[in-house]
């Protein structure tokens, strides 16, 4: 899984053109949800996915013309009836896909997607607003990035004015949302810019060598931490984002934990597990999981409770770590752990009341 905003800015920096495709409306069942996105490049390659199958094929065909025309297109796709029966897709429903030409000579697009990419890398929140209309020229001012501190990148020209005070209004849905601002005017597609989720994997033992590639496969950045140099190396962990060799008690001084951070504690001993858990509980991370038996968990919890850690705080920990799928081998345990990470990440999207504009 890739972050499309980062990928798009890289494409623009390389002087290449792209078509950004996003699902902006969904009725019934569809393979991907509202806000799913992909990039189509001039060589026909695709980065990301909006569902695959017939839908993605139709989007790719439409994109060929947009590289020449340089205008937006809203593609309505209906996967119902005979079309559904003849396809390989088992989902039925209706989706609207917004196709936007994003070319490197559009300086505003460069600024907007550079800022969106930086927010992702810096672990900061933001909201991307996009004008939605068929046939808009690629060079029109049609995108805005808004940040909680009032910084705004981009503008809508004379179509709509946004200011710093309206960030809360546009961002409070915390999910992709189509907004009809006023009758006869282009709609606005609002979507959160979410920092990449980072997995801090404490312990570089056998199980971790299976957890790391699985976590990378499903979209986590992965940092492996252990105090044994012979275990923390690119031979054992060839594709992770960061390797840190240091005493466990010093690790939290070397990493930056935020609400998009996930911590798994899979060290080689109870004492290390307890020490890492103590430090992890003082952060605002999204998830903490600790490996071990119920007996081990109770011993560690009792020790921390004696130090003043509340029962309510300890209840935040997922231990024994992983979904209960009857896992026994290191590979199966890794699957159960990453499945729980996926579940925890999905559960972060809290439903909020409807947004009024």
Residue-wise pLDDT tens digits, 268-281: 999 999 999 999 99
Contacts of residues 36-43 at CB distance under 8 Å and 24 or more positions apart, as own/partner, are 37/4, 38/4, 39/4, 39/7, 39/8, 39/11, 41/11, 41/16, 41/17, 42/16, 42/17, 42/18, 42/67
Last-in-domain residue among 193, 216, 248: 193
| Residue 31 pLDDT level (bands cut at 50, 70, 90) | low
The domain boundary, picked from 53, 83, 102, lies at 102
- Position 53 in a domain: yes
Please give the Cα distance from 263 to 285 (Å, whole number).
7
pLDDT per residue over 34-76, tens digit each? 888 999 999 999 998 887 677 888 899 999 999 999 999 999 8
Please give the backbone phi and psi of residue 330, each rounded to the nearest 5 degrees, phi first: -55, -40
Mean pLDDT, rounded, for 20-42: 85
Range of the domain at 53: 19-102
**Other Cβ atoms closer than 10 A to 124:** 16
pLDDT tens digits, 250-308: 999 999 898 889 999 999 999 999 999 999 999 999 999 999 999 999 999 999 999 99
Tell me if 336 is assigned to some domain: yes
Looking at the structure, tell me whether residues 335 and 207 fall in a common domain.
yes
Judged against a pLDDT cut of 70, whether residue 357 lies above it is answered with no
Cis peptide before 320, with omega less than 30 degrees from 0? yes
**pLDDT of 164-213, one tens digit each?**
778 888 877 678 888 887 777 788 999 998 888 999 999 999 999 999 99
Neighbours of 350 (CB within 10 A): 7
Q: Out of 93-102, 133-142, 184-193, which region has the weakest mean confidence (pLDDT)?
A: 184-193
Q: Is the pLDDT of residue 85 over 80?
A: no
pLDDT category, 92, cuts 50, 70, 90? low
Q: Would you state the pLDDT for residue 88? A: 47
Q: Are residues 49 and 97 in the same domain?
A: yes
Task: For residue 9, tell me if it sits in a domain.
Answer: no
**Sign of the torsion formed by the C-alpha atoms of 291, 293, 296 and 298:** positive
Residue 155 pLDDT greater than 80, yes or no: yes
Q: From CA 256, how far away is CA 121, in angstroms rounded?
A: 12
> Residue 283 maps to which CATH number?
3.40.50.720
Distance CA 40, CA 19 (A): 5
Residue 82 sits in the same domain as residue 112: no
In the chain, DSSP finds a helix count (H) and a strand count (E) of: 10, 15
Is residue 10, in this structure, part of any structural domain at all? Answer: no
Decide if 228 is inside a domain.
yes
C-alpha–C-alpha distance, residues 111 and 297, integer Å: 49
Last residue of a domain, one of 56, 78, 102: 102
Domain count, the chain: 3
What mean pLDDT is reported for the chain? Answer: 88
What pLDDT, on a 0 to 100 scale, did the predictor assign at position 312? 94
Structure tokens at 182: 């006023």
Same domain, yes or no: 138 and 206? no
Q: Is residue 6 a part of any domain in this protein?
A: no
The encoded tokens of residue 209 equal 């060598």
The C-alpha atoms of residue 318 and residue 313 are separated, in whole angstroms, by 11
Q: Name the burial class of residue 312, with classes exposed (0-12), middle (13-18) and buried (19+) by CB atoms within 10 angstroms of its CB.
A: exposed
Share of the chain above pLDDT 70, in %: 91
- Burial track 172-210 (b if 16+ CB lie within 10 A, e otherwise): ebbebbeeeeeeeebbbbbbbbbbbbbbbbbbbbebbbb
CA gap 53, 17 in Å, rounded: 24
What pLDDT does 112 receive? 95
pLDDT at position 74, please? 94
User: CB of 147 within 8 A of CB of 124?
Assistant: yes
Confidence of residue 79 (pLDDT cuts 50, 70, 90): low
Specify whether 189 is located in the same domain as 205.
no
d(CA 354, CA 333): 40
Confidence tier at 315 by pLDDT (50, 70, 90): very high
pLDDT of residue 90: 46
Q: Can you list the alpha helix ranges (DSSP code H) found in the chain?
A: 4-13, 53-69, 81-86, 107-122, 167-171, 206-217, 270-280, 294-306, 311-314, 330-347
Give the per-residue pLDDT at 89.
47
Q: Stretch 303-324: mean pLDDT, rounded?
A: 95
């Amino acid at each position: 899984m890739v972050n499309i905003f980062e990928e798009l800015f890289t494409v623009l920096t390389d002087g290449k053109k792209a078509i950004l495709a996003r699902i902006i409306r969904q009725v019934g069942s569809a393979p991907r949800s509202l806000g799913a996105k992909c990039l189509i490049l001039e060589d026909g390659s695709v980065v990301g996915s909006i569902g695959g199958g017939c839908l993605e094929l139709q989007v790719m065909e439409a994109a060929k013309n947009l590289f020449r025309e340089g205008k937006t297109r809203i593609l309505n796709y209906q996967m119902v009836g005979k079309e559904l029966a003849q396809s390989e897709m088992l989902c039925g429903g209706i989706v609207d896909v917004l196709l936007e030409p994003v070319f490197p000579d559009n300086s505003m697009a460069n600024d907007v997607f550079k800022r969106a990419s930086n927010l992702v890398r810096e672990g900061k929140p933001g909201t991307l607003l996009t004008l939605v209309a068929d046939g808009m020229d690629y060079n029109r001012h049609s995108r805005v990035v808004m940040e909680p501190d009032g910084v705004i990148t981009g503008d809508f020209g004379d179509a709509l004015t946004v200011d710093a005070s309206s960030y809360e209004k546009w961002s409070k849905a915390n999910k992709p949302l189509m907004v009809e601002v006023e009758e006869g005017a282009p709609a606005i597609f609002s979507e959160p810019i979410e920092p990449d989720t980072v997995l801090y994997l404490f312990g570089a033992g056998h199980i971790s060598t299976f957890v790391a590639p699985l976590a990378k496969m499903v979209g986590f950045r992965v940092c492996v931490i252990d105090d044994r140099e012979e275990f923390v190396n690119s031979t054992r962990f060839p594709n992770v984002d960061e390797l840190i060799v240091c005493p466990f008690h010093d690790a939290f001084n070397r990493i930056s934990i935020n609400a998009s951070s996930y911590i798994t504690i899979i060290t080689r001993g109870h004492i290390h597990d307890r020490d890492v858990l103590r430090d992890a509980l003082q952060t605002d991370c999204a998830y903490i999981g600790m490996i071990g038996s119920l007996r081990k968990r109770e011993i560690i919890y009792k020790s921390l409770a004696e130090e003043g850690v509340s029962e309510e705080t300890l209840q935040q920990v997922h231990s024994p770590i992983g979904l209960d799928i009857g896992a026994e081998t290191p590979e199966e345990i890794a699957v159960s752990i990453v499945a729980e990470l996926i579940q925890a990440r999905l559960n972060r999207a809290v439903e909020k009341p409807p947004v009024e504009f």
